Amino acid sequence: MISEEKIRNLITRAIAARKKAYSPYSHYQVGAALLSEDGQVFSGCNIENAAYSPTICAERTAFFKAVSEGNRGFLAIAITGSPAGEEITQFAYPCGVCRQVMMEFCNPAAFLIIVAKSPEEYRCMTLQECLPDGFGPANLG
Ligand code: THU
């Protein structure tokens, strides 16, 4: 179980990461903060590209930073997303591609996805709830 204090701290990190979003095309800013099993937090933002398809989501930025630093066990991710501006007006759920990347490194029954408007206003769900019957490493035997 993750304490409410840890959840709020993770959301604060995601809000800060969103400020780094590079999104001159969509003007949609996303920040994520990923908590590893050993207590480290890896943040990420979306990074867009003039050729569009090389764009990467905030969640995958955070995952790839963490994995490239040797981390493979994760407990939770906080996500904040909204059109450009200071105010976060909506709950931003992760896209299908990011859910699949989570499936690669996380226990679907335990990994917590936190979508937040603020450290006080958030929703939590497991990866299993977000991606029912997901395909993962276990399928390959
Ligand atoms: N985006 C994310 O960063 N995460 C998501 O889960 C959904 C979408 C980004 C990609 C793109 O830069 C912008 O939001 C609009 O799609």
- Dump pLDDT digits (tens) for 57-95: 999 999 999 999 999 999 999 999 999 999 999 999 999
Q: Which residue has the least CA distance to atom 2 on ligand 1? A: 57
Residues having CB within 6 Å of any atom of ligand 1:
23, 26, 28, 30, 46, 48, 55, 57-59, 94-95, 98
Q: How confident is the model at residue 1 (pLDDT cuts 50, 70, 90)?
A: confident
Instruction: Give, in order, the Cα–Cα distances in Å from 12 to each of 16, 17, 42, 55.
Output: 6, 9, 12, 24
Does this model's pTM top 0.75? My answer is: yes
Beta strand 112-116 with 74-83 is parallel
**Active-site annotation holder among 4, 37, 59, 121:** 59
